[in-house]
Amino acid sequence: MSDRENIQQVASRLVGLRDALELAPEQVAEACGIDVDTYLGYESGNQDIPISFIQNLAQIYGVQVPELLFGTSPRMSAYYVTRAGKGARVERSKAYSYESLAEGFADRIIHPFMVTLEPANNATAKPNSHPGQEYNYVISGREELHIGAKTIVLNPGDSIIFNASLPHYMQALDEQPLQFISIIASK
Mean pLDDT (whole number) for 119-137: 86
**Residue 73 reports pLDDT greater than 80:** no
Q: Do 95 and 178 contact (CB within 8 A), yes or no?
A: no
Predicted confidence at residue 187, as pLDDT, reads: 63
pTM above 0.85, yes or no: no
Q: Check: CB of residue 184 under 8 Å from CB of residue 111.
A: yes
Which range (31-40, 66-75, 85-94, 127-136) has the least confidence? 85-94
Edge-to-edge order in the sheet of strand 89-90: 89-90, 96-100, 110-117, 178-185, 133-140, 159-163
Contact predicate 39/33, CB 8 Å: no
Confidence of residue 183 (pLDDT cuts 50, 70, 90): very high
Give the residue with greater pLDDT, 53 vs 162: 162
Q: Percentage of the chain surpassing pLDDT 90? A: 33
Is the pLDDT confidence value at 133 over 80?
A: yes
